[in-house]
Amino acid sequence: MSSITSEVALDLFPFLKVYKDGTLKRLAGVEVVHPGLDPETNVLSKDILILPKTGVSARIYRPNLVTEPQKLPLVVYFHGGAFCAASPASLEYHTSLNKLVAEANIIALSVDYRLVPEHPLPTAYEDSWAALQWVASHKEENGNHEAWIKDYVELDEVFLTGDSSGANIAHHLALRIKESNLSYKLKIAGIGMIHPYFWGTNPIGSEVTDQFRKELVDKWWLYVCPSDKGCDDPLINPFVDGSSDLANLACDRILVIVAEKDILRDRGKLYYDKLVKSGWKGKAEFMETEGEDHVFHIFHPDCAKAKSLIQRLASFFKM
C-alpha cells in the first residue's frame, strides 16, 4: 500500500477505514465460512441467488432432519454491521444462525443485502424488500421456487428478525408491508428485534454521559447516510416528523431485546415504550440482558447469556 493510500481519511471503528485515495478496508465481518452441514448443531445450509439482476443472495438454513409433512416457521434474518459490514457468510453470523435454527426448529433465510459505500442507502432496504417479495412469490403456483421453502416452510408463519441495523431493516419492512399489496400475500407473525439500531440527534439516557460512544455512533450514521437530516433522518430515528406511525407495523407480535451496557439500549427501550402506547394492536415483549454490550451473543455465542437470548428468541417463534 502506497504512502498516499495508507493515509486514513476516516476511521469508522470497528467496521472499516476509508483512505484518502478513496479505497476502504473492512475490519469487521471479513472472515467468511462456506455453507454445508454444521456437525455441532446438525443444521444444513446453502447459498441461493434471489435476484439475478442485482446479485442479491441469501444463505438458507434448515434442520438436517425434518419430518414430512411437518412444516416449520420461516425466519427472514437481516444481519447487523451498521449497513457497511458483515454478511450471512461471516463466521459470527453463520455460527449464530446455526445455533438459532437448531434451538428453534425453524427454516432461516439470512439475506445478503448490498453494503454501503459501494451501494448507498436505501439499497439495503430495497434488497431486503425484494427478498420478502421473493418469499411471498412461493405462495404462487407458478414460479422459480426454492425447494427448502416449498417443502418445509409454513408460509403463514413468517418472522422478521435482525440484530442492530438488521433490526432497523425489519422495522421499516414491517411498515412498508402495511402500505403495499404484499400484505395480502404475506402475513408476518412477528418481529424479533435484537439490539435495534435506532438513533437521534438529541441524546437520551446513557448517551448524555457517554460522549465518546455517542460521537462514534453519530459518525457511523453520518457516513452511511449523508443527508441534511443527519441523525434525525426517519431511517434511523423512528420518532421524528416524517416517520410512519408505529401503529402501522404489519405484525401480531414484537420482541425487543436490549443489552444493559449497549449505547443503543435506551433507544431500544424507548421504541418498546412508544410501541406499547402507539395504538398498535399486537403484543409487545421486552428482554434486557444485564451486564452485556451490543450484539454480545454474536461474538460470544457459547456464553450462558447468549444461549439464554437464543432460547428466548426460539420460544418467541414457537408461541
pLDDT tens for each residue of 105-148: 999 999 999 999 999 999 999 999 999 999 999 988 777 799 99
pLDDT over 70 percentage in the chain? 98
Residue 309, H or E segment: helix 304-318
- Output Rg (C-alpha) for the chain, integer angstroms: 19
pLDDT over 90 percentage in the chain? 87
Q: Return the pLDDT at 51.
A: 92
Reply yes or no on whether 294 is catalytic: yes
Cell, residue 145: 421456487
Do the beta carbons of residue 107 and residue 75 sit within 8 Å? yes
Q: Return the pLDDT at 3.
A: 46
Q: How confident is residue 242, by pLDDT bands cut at 50, 70 and 90? A: confident
Q: How confident is residue 2, by pLDDT bands cut at 50, 70 and 90? A: very low
Reply yes or no on whether 262 is catalytic: yes
Reply yes or no on whether 228 is catalytic: no
Average pLDDT rounded to a whole number, residues 241-260? 95
CA 315 → CA 128, 206, 252, distances in Å? 25, 30, 15
User: To the nearest whole number, what is the mean pLDDT of the chain?
Assistant: 94
Q: Return the pLDDT at 1.
A: 43
Q: How confident is residue 185, by pLDDT bands cut at 50, 70 and 90? A: confident
Is pLDDT at 6 greater than 90 in this prediction?
no
Is pLDDT at 235 greater than 90 in this prediction?
yes
What span, in angstroms and rounded, lies between the C-alpha atoms of 255 and 258? 10
pLDDT tens for each residue of 294-307: 999 999 999 999 99
Cell, residue 310: 437464543
Indicate the Cα dihedral angle 30, 33, 35, 36, nearest 10°. -170
Q: Return the pLDDT at 126.
A: 98
Do the beta carbons of residue 172 and residue 240 sit within 8 Å? no
Q: Using alpha carbons, select from 214, 116, 113 the residue that is nearest to residue 166.
A: 113
Is pLDDT at 95 greater than 50 in this prediction?
yes
pLDDT tens for each residue of 190-211: 999 999 999 999 999 999 999 9
Q: How confident is residue 177, by pLDDT bands cut at 50, 70 and 90? A: very high
Cell, residue 26: 473492512
Q: Return the pLDDT at 109.
A: 98
pLDDT tens for each residue of 33-74: 999 999 999 999 999 999 999 999 999 999 998 776 789 999
Q: What is the DSSP string of 248-304?
A: G---SEEEEEEETT-TTHHHHHHHHHHHHTTT--SEEEEEEETT--TTHHHH-TTSH
Average pLDDT rounded to a whole number, residues 14-32? 91
Q: Which carries the bigger pLDDT value, residue 246 or residue 181?
A: 246
Kindly list the structural domains of the chain, giving each domain's residue range(s) and its CATH number in brackets, ordered by start. 34-317 (3.40.50.1820)
User: Phi-psi region for residue 83, left (φ > 0), alpha (ψ -120 to 50) or beta?
Assistant: left
Active-site position among 45, 87, 96, 164: 164
* 3-state SS string for 84-103: CCCCCCEHHHHHHHHHHHHH
Ramachandran angles phi, psi of 32, nearest 5°: -110, 155
Do the beta carbons of residue 231 and residue 222 sit within 8 Å? yes
Average pLDDT rounded to a whole number, residues 306-317? 98
Cell, residue 154: 409454513
What span, in angstroms and rounded, lies between the C-alpha atoms of 146 and 113? 18
Q: Which carries the bigger pLDDT value, residue 60 or residue 2?
A: 60
Q: Return the pLDDT at 319.
A: 67
Average pLDDT rounded to a whole number, residues 237-258? 95
Angle subtended at Cα 282 by Cα 265 and Cα 123, rounded to the nearest 5 degrees: 60
| Helix and strand totals (H; E) in the chain | 8, 12
Q: Which carries the bigger pLDDT value, residue 21 or residue 308?
A: 308
